[in-house]
Amino acid sequence: MIRKVSRSIIIWSVDFVFVLIATLFIPYFASYENFANVAVRLLIIFLVALAQSSAIVVGGADLSVGSNMSVMTGIASYLLIVNPILGIAVILLAGAALGAFNGFGVSKLNIHPFIVTLCAFLIAQGLALTLRPIPGGEIPRALYTSLYSTYYGIPVLSIILLLTFLFMFVFFIERTSLGRSLLAVGGNEKVAQDFGVNTARVKFLAYVLSGVLAALAGFFLGVRIGCGSPNVGETFLLYSFGAAVAGGTYLTGGVTSPVGTLGGALLFALIDDILWLAQVSPYLSLVVQGIMLAVVVGISEVVLRR
Amino acid sequence: MIYVSVFLFILAAGMLIPTVFMPSNIIGVLRQAGILGVVALGQFLVIMGGAWKKDVGIDLSVGSTLFLTTLAFCHINKLVQSDIVATILCLLLGVLIGLINGIMITRGNISPFIATLATSLSLQGITWMISITPVEIPGYLIFLGSERIGLVPITFICFLILSIILWVLMRYSTYGIRVYAKSSNPRAAQLLGVDLKLYTLSTYVISGLLAAFGGLLYLGFLVHPSMTFTDIFTFDSIAAVLIGGTEFVGGIGSVFGLLPGVVLMRFINYFILFFNVPDATRRIMTGLMIFSIVTIFVLQSKRKRKFKIV
């Protein structure tokens, strides 16, 4: 079931309040440069939140999205400077492979998603550390500038990418049979199976999709930081859950709202940006992010259940 | 079954690398296994009884709790100038963390994974914000953490004693039976009068307490606390619980399975240190190991299910 866009009003209202408060209390927030910053953060968080919602919607979760992103920044730092097209292709394939590992464990071996994706998380973390023990490598500056470039103050490319991914995902989940199968399986697996849906295959593909989307997020993250880094993706696991749940994705599966997820992603992008602008120490940021995650998820579970 | 496999594994490793059987190595492995074991007992209880509304029970905050305790003890000791009070306050800190987790889960309806993840991150942040204060570590902690009787370290003895207590609790006490019932069939347990909120909450409290105790043991072992800390407790405790034969979705659990579980985990850790295996490979190995063991368990139980009459 697709939550109606109108239900996302809640999260978008919260976003509006945050923007208002930030504009009033934090200098530099309401500047074109910062707008571009937020837009890029939003792009990354939105993609990883979509990845997580793909896994959540079939009744599971993907703990590996964060380290997935870290690995991809590593791959990006080696390949993009050599051949950008090849680099992106390898990243997407690697994401699909990681997703396939998860999907195989969940659908074929019937292992609980937490355990499978936990293993993937550890393995991916190890791979990320192997590729780039310390941040390094080089990602073409051209990609960075094109992502951040503004046209009359508006980060055109970022926004175009955001809307493209949003529409693609909405189209996928609403209009394609595979997308609808994802919703069906998450809603009631037994019934979906009785209706002839190949639940194992659907779940497998859901995790592959999660892996690919997370890899894509990792690509953009790599472009943003300009190098490969082994644990840069960790906080995004937190964001992916927060954004997906705040956006109206039910943790029990079957329900998701891409537009809501965008709103949720914006919320965490704003939090991330505000913490950065206020120059809060990274340790305190961690505490704040942890608390925000718990608060957002807790409130969302209560409010959006109606 | 698990005991045999782990024993054979260690034997095989020993044939390849005879230094495995050196007394100092065995003592080292058992000592670390004891500390991990204490933490794993808490994790066991949470995985068994910490499920809430279709979300599986898990405690991701044990590693951060342990680490925080090692530093907190020093600060509290400096503040109150009393070893006993500091020890008690540290254990209470563990209880508090467990309470926070439990309340987030049972009242806030937050899934255990997210709740304990949030706690873990917050604790890490707090830990990094407080620095180290050099303090004289009390004798009894050093005794618990570093001493041994013959080949057997005191930490391992602590673990054994606590395991037996937990086993008796799970099997023969009202509490244990209700936790087991809740784990097996929450709805039935509720109808039978089990207060789900209370029992779920209690598992996280005990886990926090045990993690704090593990922190004190670890401090006794380290003697000098350090800010460099790779979390070798959270995921390893989960792995140990799974290796020991506990089903992630509840209903089946083995306390004494934790013994070979923790020994195996720490044995592998020693291998890793021996070969100077980089941190990266270690994580990959842990991941693959958990995966293969769980796969083996699942395939095993699938075979059993063939004979079930539906």
Q: What is the pLDDT along chain A (306 residues), one digit of tens a residue?
A: 555 566 677 788 888 888 888 888 877 877 878 888 889 999 999 999 999 999 999 988 999 999 999 999 999 998 888 888 899 999 999 999 999 999 999 998 888 898 899 899 999 999 998 888 888 888 888 888 888 877 777 778 888 999 999 999 999 988 898 999 999 998 888 888 888 888 899 999 999 999 999 999 999 999 988 888 888 888 899 899 989 988 888 888 888 889 989 999 999 999 888 888 888 888 888 888 888 888 888 888 777 765
Whether the pLDDT of residue B291 is over 90: the answer is no
Asked if residue B309 has pLDDT above 50, the reply is no
* ipTM rounded to 2 decimals: 0.78
Confirm whether A148 is domain-assigned: yes
CB-CB neighbors (< 8 A) of B117 in chain A: 237-238, 241, 290, 293
Average pLDDT, chain B: 84
Q: State the nearest Cα–Cα gap between A19 and chain B, in angstroms.
A: 24
Chain A hits for B241, CB-CB cut-off 8 Å, are none
Match 């980060």 to its residue by tokens.
Answer: A155
What is the dihedral angle through the alpha carbons of B89, B94, B98, B104, rounded to the nearest 10 degrees? Answer: 70
Tell me whether residues B280 and A126 touch, CB distance under 8 A: yes
Q: Quick: pLDDT tens for A195-230.
A: 888 889 999 999 999 999 999 999 999 998 888 888
Long-range contacts (CB closer than 8 Å, 24 or more residues apart) made by A152-155: A153/A32, A153/A35, A154/A32, A154/A35, A155/A35, A155/A36, A155/A39, A155/A40
Q: Which whole number is the average pLDDT over B286-298?
A: 82
Residue B63 has pLDDT above 90, yes or no: yes
Residue of A nearest to B109 (CA): A298
- CB distance A121–B128 less than 8 Å? no
Nearest Cα residue to B233 out of B208, B217, B211: B211
Confidence label for B303 from pLDDT (cuts 50, 70 and 90): low
Higher pLDDT, A27 or B306: A27
Strands B148-149 and B152-153: antiparallel
Chain A residue with Cα closest to B114 = A294
Give mean pLDDT, residues B249-270.
82
**Averaged pLDDT for residues B18-28:** 78
- Alpha helix locations (H) across chain A? 9-25, 32-57, 65-79, 84-103, 113-131, 141-148, 156-175, 177-187, 189-194, 199-225, 234-246, 258-277, 282-303
Tell if the CB–CB gap between B129 and A112 is shorter than 8 Å: no
Q: Specify the CATH number for the domain of residue A288.
A: 1.10.3470
CB pairs under 8 A between A and B: 133
pTM (2 d.p.): 0.85
What angle, rounded to 10 degrees, do the helices at A84-103 and A113-131 form? 150
Contacts of A52 in chain B (CB under 8 A): none
Looking at residue A6, what is its pLDDT?
Answer: 60
With respect to residue A13, please indicate whether it lies within any of the assigned structural domains: no
Which amino acid type is present at position A156?
Answer: V
**Mean pLDDT throughout B168-186?**
88
Residue ranges and CATH numbers for the domains of chain B are 31-284 (1.10.3470)
**Does the distance separating the beta carbons of A127 and B248 come in below 8 Å?**
no
Domain membership flag for residue A163: yes
Residue of B nearest to A62 (CA): B113
Classify residue A256: in a domain, yes or no.
Answer: yes
| CB proximity A116 to B under 8 Å | yes
Q: What is the nearest CA distance from A38 to chain B, expressed in angstroms?
A: 23
Q: Is the confidence at residue B268, as pLDDT, over 70?
A: yes
Tell me, yes or no, whether A125 lies in a domain.
yes
Which of chain B's residues have a Cβ under 8 Å away from the Cβ of A123?
283-284, 287-288
Residue A267 falls inside a structural domain: yes
Q: What is the pLDDT of residue B119?
A: 93
Q: Hey, is the C-beta of A293 within 8 angstroms of any chain B C-beta?
A: yes
Task: Tell me the one-letter amino acid at A92.
Answer: L
Cβ pair A125:B283 closer than 8 A:
yes
The count of domains in chain A is 1
Question: CB A294 to CB B108 under 8 A?
Answer: yes
Over residues B205-243, the pLDDT tens digits come to 999 999 999 999 999 888 888 887 777 899 889 888 888
A-chain residues near B104 (CB < 8 A): 294, 298
B288 contacts in chain A (CB < 8 Å): 119, 123
CB burial class (10 A; 0-12, 13-18, 19+) of residue A295? middle
Nearest-angstrom CA–CA distance, B243 and B259: 10
Contacts of A279 (CB under 8 A, 6+ apart): none
Interface mutation target, options A71, A110, A125, A271, chain B, most CBs of B under 10 Å: A125
Q: Is the pLDDT of residue B305 over 50?
A: no
Rounded to a whole number of angstroms, the distance from the CA of A265 to the nearest CA of chain B is: 17
Domain that holds residue A267: 31-303
pLDDT the model gives residue A256 = 87
Are B129 and A283 a contacting pair at CB < 8 A?
Answer: yes
Rounded Cα–Cα distance for residues B137 and B283 (Å): 32
Q: What pLDDT shows up at residue A106? A: 92
Would you say residue A10 lies in a domain?
Answer: no
Which residues on chain A are in Cβ contact (under 8 Å) with B103?
none
Q: How far apart are CA B292 and CA A62, in angstroms?
A: 19
- Could you tell me the two tokens for A84? 């950008």
Residue A162 is assigned to a structural domain of this protein: yes
Residue A87 tokens read as 């680099």
Best A119, A238, A241, A291 residue to mutate vs chain B (most B CBs within 10 Å): A119
